[in-house]
Structure 1
Amino acid sequence: MSYHIVNIDSPNCSINCKHGQLTCLGENGRRQQVPLEDVAAIVITSFSAQLNSHLLLEAAKYGVALVICEYFQPISLLLPANRSTDTLLTKAALTMDKKKVATLWQKTIDAKCVNQASLAEHLNPEHPKREILQKRANSKAPGKESVCARYYWGIYADALAIIGFKRGRQEGGVNDLLNFGYAILLSLILQKLFACGLDPTVGISHEVRERSTPLAYDLMEPFRPCVDWRVARWMMEEAAPDDYQVNGRFRRYITNFTLERVGYLGIEMDFRNCLESVVRSFRQAVLSGQTRQYKPWIPSNSKWAG
């Protein structure tokens, strides 16, 4: 059964397939391998990896997808002929009942709001508006996403002593740090979507625009507080006051949030595996038509301490 998603990110390595084993030889001479029949997809983010043509042939035989990235963004998807013509998953996504689509989105927003409230409590447990945010996050009120966002960003700014903060893509300041972190998160989501066979253009809420990937934006929502927390730690522990530069040191720091350990359904795992598990649960919900299969991430058994 294919279930592994193999990430290749070593700066210089050689990837091959010998005797049914996916083999990666690093520049330090270290060799790692895994049975190719256990691999669902290979995601290559390395900028100088060498691929043996025999690997491409064997990957096609085993039905393994090959995702090639540039700056962590998927730029090429190589699928075996039998997988590229299998439209079962896409058809299921396109024909899903509207009420079920709405339920999937509501579960996503509920998780996002709960995660925001959880981080707000960790950052500023004595804030006068924290309890209001907590109640809103756990309510069934329509339109609660925008209400929770208003309270959440207010608490977030107060915790970091940012005066006059306004969240927005073009607002500058700490927004530049947040936006860079969200870009990293988006690229990871896209990698997992492609690897699991989900079409990122078939979303459940975000609008379809030219060259947009609405499903990636949909499923990343509950994970945004992970980026927010990493940026908050940068501002509190690493950055000088009012230093909002997206420099090399910050890029290295923010990217490491993907290596942190989180809890998911009672199991501790690294962030990338958690993200993959959530994407797989969404895939199962689409295929089965059972929304209960979708399990968005909430940090109920995790620590924001990182």
Structure 2
Amino acid sequence: MIKRTLYFGNPAYLHKQQQQLKVLEPKTNTELGSIPIEDIGVVLLDNPQITITHALLASLLERNTAIISCDDKHLPVGLMLPLNGHTLQSERFREQINASEPLKKNLWQQTVKAKVENQAELLQRFGIENKRLKALVPQVQSGDPVNVEGRAASVYWKLLFENEEFTRHRYGDAPNAHLNYCYAILRAIVARALVSSGLLPTLGIFHRNKYNAYCLADDIMEPYRPFCDQLVYQMWQDAEIEGEEITRVHKAKLLSIASVDVVFDKQKSPLMVGLSRTTNSLFECFEGTRRRIIYPQFIDE
């Protein structure tokens, strides 16, 4: 069953009662809603006047819920995950830590290929010529030493926004902010799946920034990024994005990233569910029982 993604953008008092997340209006103490805690996968807190009890926090984390906190600009700034996500966690940590460099380079090669292939699929879906991008896929080598990923990104963004003055940059003009927002939610979902599979999100197969606590999440989310791009680009094409402001309507659409359909071996799956297949297959690669990570493809429409 797909877990629910909850967004709280108004002042609220959140507490636990009989395995339910209860939402109260803080001034009147009126109950606004109730959700079974076991049904929740992601909680996003986006108001400085939200109060959440420790009992609720503990119960959410016990059920492997990712809890995201936003800053005063309403952008995700923090992520809370459970310490124990799998019964064999320490054993799985050892397999991950002991992974050889050739194995990690091979896994990164698979990851880059999957990302570029999905980028090409996205271009095709919107009727954009993708031959230049497709031609780069066979050039990806173990460890991607010549940075085909970066070259593909340059081609991809130019083709996707061919008639627009757009440059993909974290602090760039619209719709960069919307892409950043969706990527942040995706990153949290990926980190949650990694913890659930008994893996350490910090130890990446490619990303190694010593200041980054989610290097592995940043690795594994790469082939999933085009699903965010699809959401944002469609909003852009429909003229729903008029500037850098991320409205509540925008957030509702971007938070739906957890439930968009992805395909594994011609079978549809919600993205959040599919990510568990990806992260479990990654562990199997670490332990030597599998050679390939299971990554998704775009569905045929």
Q: Same fold (TM over 0.5)?
A: yes
TM score, norm. by length of structure 2: 0.75
Q: 1:87 aligns with which of 84, 87, 90?
A: 90
Residue of structure 2 equivalent to 1:295? 294
Residue of structure 2 equivalent to 1:150? 154
* Distance in 2 between residues matched to 1:258 and 1:8, nearest whole Å: 7
Residue of structure 2 equivalent to 1:261? 261
User: Pairwise CA RMSD of aligned residues?
Assistant: 3.5
* Distance in 1 between residues matched to 2:153 and 2:126, nearest whole Å: 15
Structure 1 243/28 Cα, relative in aligned 2: closer, same or farther at 3 Å?
closer
1:42-121 maps to which residues of 2 (within 5 A)?
A: 43=41, 45=43, 66-67=64-65, 69-71=67-69, 74-79=79-84, 83=87, 86-121=89-124
The CA deviation at 1:296 is 1.8
Residue of structure 1 equivalent to 2:73? none
1:250 aligns with 2:254: no
Residue of structure 2 equivalent to 1:162? 164
Structure 1 29/91 Cα, relative in aligned 2: closer, same or farther at 3 Å?
same
Name stretches of at least 5 consecutive residues in structure 2 with no aligned partner: 9-13, 24-30, 46-50, 70-75
The CA deviation at 1:67 is 4.2
The CA deviation at 1:272 is 1.0
Contact 2:22-2:35 at 8 Å conserved across structures: yes
* Distance in 2 between residues matched to 1:94 and 1:167, nearest whole Å: 33
More helix by share: 1
Per-residue deviation, residues 255-282 of structure 1 (Å, max 9, x unmatched): 1122222211222111111122111211
Contact 2:2-2:273 at 8 Å conserved across structures: no
Counterpart of 2:84, as a letter, is L
TM score, norm. by length of structure 1: 0.74
* Distance in 1 between residues matched to 2:67 and 2:35, nearest whole Å: 22
* Distance in 2 between residues matched to 1:261 and 1:222, nearest whole Å: 14
* Distance in 2 between residues matched to 1:42 and 1:177, nearest whole Å: 24
Contact 2:136-2:152 at 8 Å conserved across structures: yes
The CA deviation at 1:210 is 2.3
* Distance in 2 between residues matched to 1:281 and 1:191, nearest whole Å: 15
* Distance in 1 between residues matched to 2:33 and 2:233, nearest whole Å: 38
Count residues with an aligned counterpart: 272
